[in-house]
Structures are given as C-alpha cells and as structure tokens.
Amino acid sequence: GILEQTDCLVVGSRGGQVVLPTFWHMQGASVPPAVVINGGVAMGLPTPVVWPDSAVTFLLLGGQDYFRGDFTMDDYLADAKRRVPKANCTTAILYVQEMAHMPQVTLLRTVLPRMIQVVLAWKAGRNDSVSEQMRLLLQALNKAGWSGRLLFKRSCHEWEDVEFPSFACNNTQRSLQRHKGISTGTGVREAGRPIELTRQDEMRELWKA
C-alpha cells in the first residue's frame, strides 16, 4: 500500500488528531516516521491514541495556535510530553512562540526540511545525524529570529530541553566578558576563538554562547 512506499508522513491539524492515530491503530509500529504540525496527536482527544513505543514523531506546536487553548507554554509542553509513551525514545517537540494554527511560510521553510531529516535519521538509527540535524535546526531558528523551545528524547527516560534564543546570560555581562576575552566555563566565547563543545552539551552550550 501507499504507507509501505512512504518514507515520512507530514500531517497537520485534523491529520494529527485523526489520520495518524488511525494509521497507528491499524498498522502500529510499521507506520512511517511522522512530522505532526499543530501536534494534534498529543492532545486530549475523544478516542485515546494508541501511540506505538517505537513510533518516530516530531511535533510542531505554535504559541499562537488555538490548539494551545488556555495552557501556559510550560503546561502546554508538559501536557504534550506526558502523552508520549514512557518507553518511546524517538519523539521531539518544537514549540515556536510566534506560530499560529496555519504556520507561516517562512517558518516552514526554516524548520520542515530539518524536521524531516531528524525523523528519517532516527528511523535509520543514525543518532549522530539526529544530533547534527537538531543543532542545525536550532541554528536556523536562531538566525531567522524565531523563539521557543526544542524538546527531544535523548533516551527513553530523559528529555533534552533547549530554549531558543538563549537568554541564560545577562547581556551586559556577556558583552563585558567578550570584550575582555574572558571564558567563564558557561559557553561565553573567548575573543577570536570558536566555541569548543562536547557532543553531550553541544546544543545547550550553543545557545548560551
């Protein structure tokens, strides 16, 4: 069938609320990786979603999307996370504060190719490629001026949570440190030197710099 010939699904709105859960119910883990715009599959739906433990899924949530309801950002993300099976190790959530229910064209151009690359790499078991694509996704979001958070399963029991752009450091303090060429060990660049990152901390440190 068509699903067997498909490498990746991209669904949105009702596609995430109805179509993808139906595919999962019918074919389980054999359903291709999915990018779910609006994150409908991770909502409180009338029919409980049978989410396969091995499903590969990337949710795109919008801060201005009416799917968010009255949730704060933190509550919205927490609600989405708790609907992912605890045994699942291949789910990511991208929350963009400026995104409405119909994503801006410029946003989709920025994020969709990278999101697809992430789920394809996850499906193929190429974890190094997943990390690289996540890093490139964060770079593109930061460069384009979007704000929000990227969450993804680093393991079945651990969620990585990266804010973009990072406001962890005081701007005035960072300016002084950069002017003096001071390295504080918190990701502040030394003048004229690139950031040197371990793979474990690469994305978190990237946005502190």
| CA distances from residue 102 to 27, 64, 67 in whole angstroms, order as listed | 29, 10, 11
Give the 3-state secondary structure of residue 9: strand
What integer pLDDT is reported at residue 200 of this predicted model? 45
| CA distances from residue 142 to 137, 138, 193 in whole angstroms, order as listed | 9, 6, 20
The model's pTM is 0.80
For 27, the token pair is 């074919």
Report yes or no: 62 and 100 within 8 Å, Cβ to Cβ.
yes
Whether 193 shows a pLDDT value over 80: the answer reads no
At residue 40 the predicted structure's pLDDT band, cuts being 50, 70 and 90, is very high
Mean per-residue pLDDT over the chain, rounded: 84
For 98, the token pair is 């400026």
H helix or E strand, kind and range, residue 67? none
CA-based nearest residue to 6, from 123, 168, 127, 141: 123
Average pLDDT over residues 59-78: 97
Q: What is the pLDDT of residues 107-161, one digit of tens each?
A: 999 999 999 999 999 999 999 999 999 999 999 999 999 999 999 999 999 999 9
| CA distances from residue 104 to 99, 117, 165 in whole angstroms, order as listed | 7, 20, 19
At residue 166 the predicted structure's pLDDT band, cuts being 50, 70 and 90, is low
The phi, psi pair for 103, rounded to 5°, reads -60, 145
At residue 2 the predicted structure's pLDDT band, cuts being 50, 70 and 90, is confident
